[in-house]
Amino acid sequence: MECYKIQTLGGIIDQLCILEQRIKVNRETARSEEELEVIDRLLEQRGWLIKELSSILVSIINWDRPATYKKYKNYDKTVHAEQDDYFLDLIADLNTYTKKLWSLEDARRNKELSDKERLEAADEVAVYNKKRNLTIDKLDEVLDNALKVSMLY
């Protein structure tokens, strides 16, 4: 029996959103040759993630693996994310959450802020991570449904 890394299309797309944010920030701040080389490595990682995305997609289409997996996470039940069934809107939501998390993580690590402000940022990180995870789950569901429909014809 083959063993698959438990990764979904939505999870890879999320990783690409995070990587794109890293690339953008590094392009805006890179000054030295070493910092420019980091961008090259990030672009290479982008290529590997896209290759992984296509590999997972082929495996799903060939019925070698499911598109979704049951997740056993203890999410805060009071946090919800407004979601629809539109693929591009879900990706836009992931990008929004990634940028917000990036900002919150910066605040959480900022020693110039008060402990109260840093703790509030840490609490918000948990909220936005849940929204991000709910969006990944919804993206997986939308992609799974689209693939099932396309494979029926």
Q: HEC string of 83-131?
A: CCCCHHHHHHHHHHHHHHHHHHHHHHHCCCCCHHHHHHHHHHHHHHHHH
Phi/psi at 40 (nearest 5 deg)? -60, -40
Spell out the domain ranges in the chain.
9-67+83-152
Residue whose entry in the numeric block shows the structure tokens 């590999």: 55
For position 150, what pLDDT does the model report?
A: 82
pLDDT at 70: 74
Give the predicted TM-score (pTM) of the model: 0.84
Tell me what pLDDT residue 4 has: 47
- Mean pLDDT in runs of 10 for the chain (153 residues)? 70 96 95 95 97 93 86 69 85 95 95 96 94 92 90 62
Q: Tell me, what's the pLDDT at 63?
A: 86
> Residue 5: what pLDDT?
56
Can you tell me the distance from the alpha carbon of 6 to that of 12, in angstroms, rounded to the nearest whole number?
A: 11
CA distance 28 to 118: 25
Q: What is the pLDDT of residue 101?
A: 96
pLDDT of residue 23: 96
